[in-house]
Amino acid sequence: MTKKELFQDDVFLFNTGEAQRAYLMMGCHKVEETGEYRFCVWAPNAKGVSVVGEFNDWDPDKNPMEPHEGGLFVAYVKEAKHGDMYKYLIHGYDGQDYYKADPFAFYSELRPGTASRVYDLADYDWTDEKFLKKRARTNLQRRPVSIYEMHLGSWRQHEDGSFFTYRETADELVPYLKKMGFTHVEVMPLTEHPFDGSWGYQVTGYYSITSRYGTPEDFMYMVDKLHEAGIGVILDWVPAHFPRDAHGLRRFDGTALFEHENPMQGEMPQWGTMLFNYGRPEVQSFLVSSAMFFMDVYHIDGMRIDAVSSMLYLNFCKEDGQYVPNKYGGTENLEAIAFLKKLNSVLLTNYPGIMMIAEESSAYPLVTKPPYDGGLGFTFKWDMGFMNDSLKYMETDHLFRKYKHNNLTFSMQYAFSENYILPFSHDEVVHGKHSMVDKMFGDYWQKFASLRAFYGYIFAHPGKKHLFMGDEFAQFIEWNFAKELDWFLLDYDSHRTMQTYMKKLNAFYQKHRAFYDIEDSWEGFDWITVDDKDNSVIAFMRISTPWRGKVQKIVSVTNFTPVVHYDYKIAMPTTGVLREILNSDDPSFGGSGVKNLPEIEVTADPFHGREASASITLPPLATVYFMFDEDQTNRKQGD
């Protein structure tokens, strides 16, 4: 870094919203040729700015910053050294003095402290080149994706309740995820945040990896180790809103700089937070560069964008009269929509093979379509409808599920309109919603059986998979961010066998192409039993594209009642043989052991408009997978 590298082109890009790596100019950087540190901050309406810190005894008179074009202030400090704490003392446009953390700081003081730190990001010796090259060639739509979502501070803790570091987490997490068969880990926000109880979703440091769990190099180690095991890393990222904390972005220079001046545009009353002004070019540069920073510096493999619906709609969580309509009189946030298109285009162009995930709960169209086709450009969208409908069904008494059968079938009405992830996230196991296993209706055994059946149904259904930590071994109480998961439950058979089942289910999913090969059309899905609401049975076939001359076909059947169905007849497209290949009622998973014969003949006995049928046994509260081998005479040329 040299002094002459700072200005003109970089400033122009920042001020016009086109900067993709503004972090190379802004913030604190060492000037190698002089040994000084250069501090650069955007405060266009400030009357004056000083950088204060441990290097000058927090004296604002020692290092005043010089105003520069583009609303920037710059200072060079010879006394600063790596690790020093600092802030900007901003004499605001409103005449008030503000001590602000550096919006572009790479590292921060451990909370409750709020200072930034002078930090030279180490030239970490990465070992993931092979992984990154493979990632760039991967089409995730045609690959298995099974995501393990986690909160770093409560996955594991020391006996005294202190956090595991990034390195300690990596050393336990990597072998665990490898054993369990998850393809990706999604980490709740690790950008710096002042309040543990926000779970990281109220960010003050958009370039600062949180100091709660160690240093930037420690986090690099964690990512590198996960890549070494072939596991991708997704980071939750929050460009929708930011907190009101005095040291943060709000009224940064005495004016509404990152947020709108009008409270109806710049505030989210329900959350008590501020909304970004996406129409301001510098805000676009700030946010796009933050996302790029985590790809560039930390080799992140994807981002889940939190609260996208709140960005898309001006009236999100607001009544009439509480928001300002767009220039056409509508409720769409046109600036936010343009920002999201830019964000996804920039990241996916620079880093093909990563995933950009929208947590979007409305029916906004074309979320996962490319911007050139009018879409937002995300790789995947959370299917919140599937999650809500299916959980409501599973919470219903077995006797009355027939009245909610549509909760299971409706998802296929829109399954191919977007590229979906089926999310069962932390939001579903907090605030009195109960844990996943405790949501299930029934007695103790039925709860576990129902959860196994439900997971089997989810993994067969079109869409990528997503579970929150603890769901894989049926954590019984709700998630508590202040304590670690109840790992002691694995001493009990019901939880240990649930974990065994999830390990088997992940392995099965990745091994069988029919479950992930075609997720965007009816060519990969065929209803077998869709309307048997009286027995609460769902059956469908998943179908792959031809590979080595063979099309893989797997029939998934779920019995959502505790009643065993013997000689249950299902319609089939042609004659052949069904072979049971996975049964959630297997005793090794905690089931009752009801199973099928090794081979079941599919005969030329017409049923429900199909030319063939078979009679199978359905265990209680169970999902069973069958491999379907057609008779050779039935196979089409080229299959």
The alpha-helical segments, DSSP class H, found in 275-356 are 281-298, 308-312, 334-350
Contact 418, 358 (CB under 8 A): no
Contact 513, 544 (CB under 8 A): yes
Nearest C-alpha neighbor of 80 from the set 124, 42, 131, 27: 27
Nearest C-alpha neighbor of 63 from the set 71, 51, 79: 51
For CATH 2.60.40.1180, list the domain ranges present in the chain. 521-634
Q: Amino acid identity, residue 163?
A: F
Hey, what's the torsion of the CAs at 417, 422, 426, 432, to 10 degrees? 90
**Sorting pLDDT into bands at 50, 70 and 90, what band is 5?**
low
Task: Give the whole-angstrom CA distance, residue 224 versus residue 298.
Answer: 9
130-143 as b/e, with b when 16 or more CB fall inside 10 Å? ebeeebeeeebbee
Chain segment 332-379, per-residue pLDDT in tens: 999 999 999 999 999 999 999 999 999 999 999 999 999 999 999 999
Architecture of domain 148-513: Alpha-Beta Barrel (3.20)
The pTM for the full model equals 0.95
The confidence score (pLDDT) of residue 634 equals 63
The confidence score (pLDDT) of residue 637 equals 44
Cα→Cα distances 615→84, 565, 576, 600, Å:
73, 10, 13, 8
Contact 243, 190 (CB under 8 A): no
List active site positions: 306, 359
Task: Give the whole-angstrom CA distance, residue 291 versus residue 63.
Answer: 31
- Residue with tokens 């009405």, as numbered in its chain: 413
Across the range 593-606, mean pLDDT stands at 96
- CA triplet 466, 563, 512: central angle to 5 degrees? 35
Q: Which two tokens stand for residue 230?
A: 């072939």
Q: Percent of the chain at pLDDT above 70?
A: 98
Nearest C-alpha neighbor of 189 from the set 210, 216, 173, 166: 210
- CA triplet 554, 556, 562: central angle to 5 degrees? 155
pLDDT greater than 60 at residue 3 = no
Q: Which residues fall within 8 angstroms of residue 213, CB to CB, at 6 or more apart?
A: 152, 153, 163, 164, 165, 166, 169, 190, 219
Residue that wins the pLDDT comparison between 445 and 631: 445
Q: Are strands 273-275 and 267-268 parallel, antiparallel or unpaired?
A: antiparallel
Q: Which residues fall within 8 angstroms of residue 264, CB to CB, at 6 or more apart?
A: 318, 322, 323, 324
The confidence score (pLDDT) of residue 326 equals 95
Q: Which residues pair with 349 in a beta bridge?
A: none
pLDDT greater than 50 at residue 19 = yes
Q: What are phi and psi of 593, to 5 degrees?
A: 90, 15
Kind plus residue range of the DSSP H or E element containing 576: strand 576-583
Contact 294, 302 (CB under 8 A): no
**Residue 400: DSSP 8-state:** G
Roughly what angle, to the nearest 10 degrees, separates helices 493-511 and 444-460? 10
Across the range 199-228, mean pLDDT stands at 98
Q: Which two tokens stand for residue 36?
A: 């000084």
Q: What are phi and psi of 165, to 5 degrees?
A: -80, 170
Chain segment 65-88, per-residue pLDDT in tens: 999 999 999 999 999 999 999 999
The confidence score (pLDDT) of residue 33 equals 87
Chain segment 144-156, per-residue pLDDT in tens: 999 999 999 999 9
Cα→Cα distances 523→203, 360, 462, 468, Å:
43, 26, 12, 30
- CA triplet 36, 40, 42: central angle to 5 degrees? 175
pLDDT greater than 60 at residue 133 = yes
**Sorting pLDDT into bands at 50, 70 and 90, what band is 633?**
low
Cα→Cα distances 522→61, 183, 370, Å:
69, 25, 21
Q: Which two tokens stand for residue 267?
A: 């505030």
Across the range 392-412, mean pLDDT stands at 97
Task: Give the whole-angstrom CA distance, residue 451 versus residue 474.
Answer: 8
- By CB neighbour count within 10 A (0-12 exposed, 13-18 middle, 19+ buried), where does 161 fall? exposed
The alpha-helical segments, DSSP class H, found in 299-361 are 308-312, 334-350
pLDDT greater than 60 at residue 4 = no
Q: Quick one: fold of 3-117? A: Immunoglobulin-like (2.60.40)
**Sorting pLDDT into bands at 50, 70 and 90, what band is 6?**
low
Across the range 262-281, mean pLDDT stands at 95
Chain segment 85-119, per-residue pLDDT in tens: 999 999 999 999 999 999 999 999 999 999 999 99
Q: Which two tokens stand for residue 483?
A: 């304590």
Task: Give the whole-angstrom CA distance, residue 455 versus residue 509.
Answer: 11
- CA of residue 615 relative to chain centroid, distance: 41
Give the least confident one: 289-298, 446-455, 628-637: 628-637
Nearest C-alpha neighbor of 477 from the set 528, 435, 537: 435
Average pLDDT over all residues of the chain: 96
The confidence score (pLDDT) of residue 638 equals 42
- Three-class SS of 160-203: CCCECCHHHHHHHHHHHHHHHCCCEEEECCCEECCCHHHCCCCC
Task: Give the whole-angstrom CA distance, residue 282 versus residue 9.
Answer: 14
Q: Are strands 184-187 and 232-237 parallel, antiparallel or unpaired?
A: parallel
Contacts made by residues 310-317, CB under 8 angstroms, sequence distance 24+: 310/240, 310/241, 310/268, 310/275, 311/239, 311/240, 311/278, 311/336, 311/339, 311/340, 312/336, 312/337, 312/340, 312/360, 312/362, 312/364, 313/362, 314/265, 316/268, 317/268, 317/269, 317/270, 317/271
For CATH 2.60.40.10, list the domain ranges present in the chain. 3-117
Chain segment 509-551, per-residue pLDDT in tens: 999 999 999 999 999 999 999 999 999 999 999 999 998 889 9
One CATH from 2.40.40.20, 3.40.190.170, 3.90.280.10, 2.60.40.1180 for 521-634 = 2.60.40.1180
Q: Which residues fall within 8 angstroms of residue 561, CB to CB, at 6 or more apart?
A: 398, 401, 535, 536, 620, 621
